[in-house]
Structure 1
Amino acid sequence: MIYSDKEPVRRLPFSKWWPVVAGALCGVLLRLIFWGSPGYPWNAMHPAFIGFAPLAVGAVTVYVAELSERRSWRYYLFAGMLANVLFVMATMAILIEGLICAILVLPLFAVYGALGGVLMGAICRGTNWPKKPVVYSFSMMPLLLAALLPDHAGEPYVGSIERTVVINADAPTVWRELHDTRDIEKAEVGQAWMYRIGVPMPVSGVTRVTPEGLVRDVRMGKGIHFTQHATQWETNRYVRWTYHFSDDSFPPGALDDHVKIGGEYFDVIDTEYVLAPTGPHSTALTARMHYRVSTRFNWYAKHLASGLIGNFEEVILGFYAGRSTRALSGPGRPELPTKKNPNDFS
């Protein structure tokens, strides 16, 4: 069979969806094979899966499409992308992937899928026929590379994000709101992107004084809970929190394993708050967070983490600004120390 470039070009949207469905099914099959939990072989964070599964999905899509008629370069590009979108949606539908991971990985898969579609389209045009060995090679590539490439998290990337807001309240008021945060409403922090894509909303963060120092109990939706320990602080000026998790901090299904805080691939190392008076009733509040990303594709993941954390800091600073400007001291709030921590930075 000889194709002619003069044949009519089928354009999106498709009248026949079988090529896209075939590509998406290829992706779902590969995801079922890469079923392992984080840290175990054949898991979905393996570079063989992240890098080559969407490539295979795009290639299979174009191969099936080329069996019936010659397609355009535009078709190769968009069909590969669309098949990967359908693939990711299907993994969510059958409950093997969570919303957070799906949203974060979708842009990367779409680009790789487009590349796979264009590569297969070029091969079909160059050979003037879609060859079965070629599509088999694309489909088997993730499996072969998974057997050859080492399976471990990538070198850790440690980043720091800092944001500042000026609050119309004195430092003691802002300090107290930092340590006694209760009954957080969705309208107060729900605009943060991490909560929009499925991270459970915070409920409260209340500090208690222990013999070891300040300990902040944090509670979030879906039963998530953990503590923050103050390693350094100076009343009304500065506090540095480190994160401590227990075995039941993240109930099953509360958060995707691939993005769990303190997990193999992602962690928040610490959070610092600095209060600097800028006037009699004005305080500059700075939030600084250090985080770790440990994947084999940090070049992509670190930018996602940076964007989400930066946006979170902006939202949470706005939250503390709103609470502080209307705060009134009342009973039931913890008595916080007035002396400097012996380990204070100053």
Structure 2
Amino acid sequence: MQLTSPKAVGIFLGVLYGISMRIVIEFSTALKFGSLVTISFMFLVPVAIGYIRVHFEYNENPNLTYRQMIVKAWQPIFIFLLVSIVTLLEGSICVAMALPAFMFFASLGGVLAGFTRRKISQKSNATLLSITLLPLALSPIELNFLHLSKTYEVTNSITINAPINIVWQQLTNVSHIEPQEIPFSLTRFIGVPRPLEANMNASGVGAIRTSTWQKGVVFKEIITDWQPNKQMLYKFEINPDLIPDNALDKHVKLGGEYFSPLNGGYRLSEDKSGNTILALTTKVQDKTNFGVYSRIWGEVIFQDFHHSLLTLMKNRAEKPLAAVISHS
């Protein structure tokens, strides 16, 4: 591929546009002009990147199929996100969450570019300029007037072959968690720190359960409902300033500007066979404008995290019983 070919130009300008928009919007946040956590950046910037990529290659290859437009639009997206990680503009968690949306909307931009060049070729450059400026035009409007904050609950449960009182004992104080006790999961793959332990300073309502994760992440759970062998509910007390910057990407930092767990807890019940049903619920506040897309990621991450914790509780509660059976 020659560096001056339309293909190379489209890729280079697409990447350059993405990085430039990333930097411009980052520095304009303080002026209430833009934000990275907006529809304008998350969805419209990749549309423009895909549009740029296909717009320039069309000069050389006007017979591009729509399938080629869709795939070629991904090329500058991958490079842009890779550069963002290497230069520390973004962390792995944010990139992983953004990638599906970036690919989808870049493809829309690529198809739109191909359609525009075929139908209104005389004004294609003007359309290109409009597409690239659209995020800058809409970002301040969205930031100041569009607020789609949502609160939702995520609940998961697991069946444990152990008495309720044995399971209850696992909830209050969680001793050091070995790496092999937590199943490999999506959250660990994308860089979310894993839990290490949880300790309570007392029992009953008002007690504090302190959770410690990898990378220096520490937060508190204030007990709001305490019914031994039935339920333990709590509200989160998280100071985002005490969470190291390298532990969680700033846009998904617990208790941060955009994303915060509010409360949650464990509930225990017994099935007909005498097994314990352990349910874990977390109530989450999402202050982004991403709507369904953000909700999907929130559900995925918390369900994944719940699964890890519930599996830990199950294995620890069943272990003494298994040892007794084996010994007898």
TM tier, smaller: 0.7 to 0.9
What's the CA shift string for 1:255-276, capped at 9, x where partnerless?
Answer: 1111112222211121221112
For residues 25 and 114 of structure 2, the distance between their equivalents in structure 1, rounded to whole angstroms, comes to 27
For residues 34 and 190 of structure 1, the distance between their equivalents in structure 2, rounded to whole angstroms, comes to 38
Pair 1:148–1:311, CA change in 2 (3 A): closer
For residues 37 and 221 of structure 1, the distance between their equivalents in structure 2, rounded to whole angstroms, comes to 33
Kindly provide the amino acid, as one letter, of the partner of residue 66 in structure 1.
Y
Kindly report which structure 2 residues correspond to 1:80-95, keeping only aligned pairs within 5 A, or say none: 80-95=73-88
- 2:325 alignment partner in structure 1: none
Pair 1:136–1:153, CA change in 2 (3 A): closer
- 1:206 alignment partner in structure 2: 199
Select the structure that is richer in helix: 2
Which shows bigger deviation, 92-101 or 137-146? Answer: 137-146
Task: State whether structure 2 residue 80 is matched by structure 1 residue 76.
Answer: no
What's the CA shift string for 1:250-293, capped at 9, x where partnerless?
Answer: 11221111111222221112122111234796321111221121
What's the CA shift string for 1:205-248, capped at 9, x where partnerless?
Answer: 11121796321111011111011111001112110011112354
Residue among 5, 16, 26 paired with 1:35: 26
Residue among 53, 66, 86 paired with 1:61: 53
Kindly report which structure 2 residues correspond to 1:90-101, keeping only aligned pairs within 5 A, or say none: 90-101=83-94
TM-superposed CA distance for 1:156, in Å, is: 2.2
TM-superposed CA distance for 1:118, in Å, is: 0.8
For residues 151 and 248 of structure 2, the distance between their equivalents in structure 1, rounded to whole angstroms, comes to 22
What's the CA shift string for 1:99-125, capped at 9, x where partnerless?
Answer: 111111111111110111111111111
Residue among 145, 154, 159 paired with 1:166: 159
Tell whether the 8 Å contact from 2:251 to 2:258 is kept in structure 1 after alignment: yes
- 2:326 alignment partner in structure 1: none
Give unmatched runs, 5+ long, in structure 1.
Answer: 1-13, 329-346
Residue among 257, 262, 267 paired with 2:255: 262
Pair 1:318–1:152, CA change in 2 (3 A): farther
TM-score (normalizing by structure 1): 0.83
Q: Secondary structure at the match of 2:208?
A: strand
What's the CA shift string for 1:161-183, capped at 9, x where partnerless?
Answer: 22221212222221111112122
TM-score (normalizing by structure 2): 0.88
Pair 1:294–1:148, CA change in 2 (3 A): closer
For residues 246 and 311 of structure 1, the distance between their equivalents in structure 2, rounded to whole angstroms, comes to 23
Tell whether the 8 Å contact from 2:85 to 2:91 is kept in structure 1 after alignment: yes
Pair 1:38–1:304, CA change in 2 (3 A): farther
What's the CA shift string for 1:274-318, capped at 9, x where partnerless?
Answer: 112347963211112211212112121011111221222222111
For residues 168 and 117 of structure 2, the distance between their equivalents in structure 1, rounded to whole angstroms, comes to 65
For residues 18 and 189 of structure 2, the distance between their equivalents in structure 1, rounded to whole angstroms, comes to 26
Q: Secondary structure at the match of 1:226?
A: strand
For residues 195 and 115 of structure 2, the distance between their equivalents in structure 1, rounded to whole angstroms, comes to 50
Kindly report which structure 2 residues correspond to 1:154-193, keeping only aligned pairs within 5 A, or say none: 154-193=147-186
Tell whether the 8 Å contact from 1:39 to 1:153 is kept in structure 2 after alignment: no
Which shows bigger deviation, 224-233 or 253-262? Answer: 253-262
Identical pairs, percent: 25
Pair 1:201–1:153, CA change in 2 (3 A): farther
Give unmatched runs, 5+ long, in structure 2.
Answer: 322-328
- 2:299 alignment partner in structure 1: 306
Residue among 239, 251, 256 paired with 1:246: 239
TM-superposed CA distance for 1:129, in Å, is: 5.9
Kindly provide the amino acid, as one letter, of the partner of residue 199 in structure 2.
V
- 2:213 alignment partner in structure 1: 220
TM-superposed CA distance for 1:15, in Å, is: 11
Residue among 85, 110, 113 paired with 2:106: 113
- 1:333 alignment partner in structure 2: none
Q: Secondary structure at the match of 1:64?
A: helix
Residue among 131, 144, 160 paired with 1:138: 131
Residue among 36, 42, 57 paired with 1:50: 42
Aligned residue pairs total 316
Kindly provide the amino acid, as one letter, of the partner of residue 21 in structure 1.
F
TM-superposed CA distance for 1:190, in Å, is: 4.4
Task: State whether structure 2 residue 12 is matched by structure 1 residue 21.
Answer: yes
Q: CA RMSD in A?
A: 2.6
For residues 17 and 51 of structure 1, the distance between their equivalents in structure 2, rounded to whole angstroms, comes to 24
